[in-house]
Amino acid sequence: MVQDDLGKKNDTMRDGEALKQQFGEQILQVTQGLDCETVIVAREAIVEVCHFLKSARGFEQLMDLCGVDMSEHPAHRDDEPRFFVVYHLLSVSQNKRIRLKVGADERDLVDSVTEVWPTANWFEREAFDMFGIIFNHHPDLRRLLTDYGFEGHPLRKDFPLTGRVEMFFDDAQWRCVYRPNKLENRVLIEKAWPGVDRG
């Protein structure tokens, strides 16, 4: 009877509370968003947290994993990590979602969660290619969307909008040719951030 009551209590406990109870100080922040709970996790604990959420809390699917460059966000401080790796998890059986965030700077290693969800493989490769976030223990960490000789990471805020080089096929040489980009960077409208007064 006591075990049944304890099991029911754990089932009704919010996922953020369960993570705090299980991992303590490795859970840095829990907030309730409009769509689901958002949990900021210490970088070193992400794999264990994901294993726990999958096995004990029923989050069977990794729906998305992406990078976010916070360097130009108005609320970003210099002492905070530049990037977030954001994990969106889904429990089909319980019809609920949770969002995990892990902070990382340019040379920080974020452990790969491919051992928990094999679908993370391509998501992590995309975040590596677009942002330069390095995933430790990834089985095949190489560029996914850009060319082999591409330099830089296109979704970083400091990457020029027009790129650094242009590529075209040269019929005379019968190969792709790269040359410095001569396009001017035109900014037609100022950046707008959600929640900022635009009037």
Q: What is the pLDDT of residues 54-64, one digit of tens each?
A: 999 999 999 99
Give the pLDDT score at 193: 66
Whole-model pTM over 0.75:
yes
As assigned by CATH, the class of the 11-158 domain is alpha beta
Mean pLDDT of the chain: 87
Task: Please compute, for residue 104, the number of CA atoms within 13 A of its CA located in the half-sphere on the CB side.
Answer: 26
Averaged pLDDT, groups of 10, the chain, 199 residues long: 42 87 96 93 98 96 97 92 97 96 96 97 97 96 86 88 74 84 66 62
Domain ranges of the chain: 11-158
As a whole-number percent, the residues of the chain with pLDDT over 90 amount to 67
Kindly give the interhelix angle for 46-55 and 15-23, rounded to the nearest 10 degrees.
Answer: 130
Task: Please compute, for residue 147, the number of CA atoms within 13 A of its CA located in the half-sphere on the CB side.
Answer: 10
Give the pLDDT score at 133: 97
Asked whether the beta carbons of 102 and 120 are under 8 A apart, the reply is no
Maximal CA-CA distance, the chain:
82
- Give the position of tokens 């430790």: 136
Give the pLDDT score at 25: 96
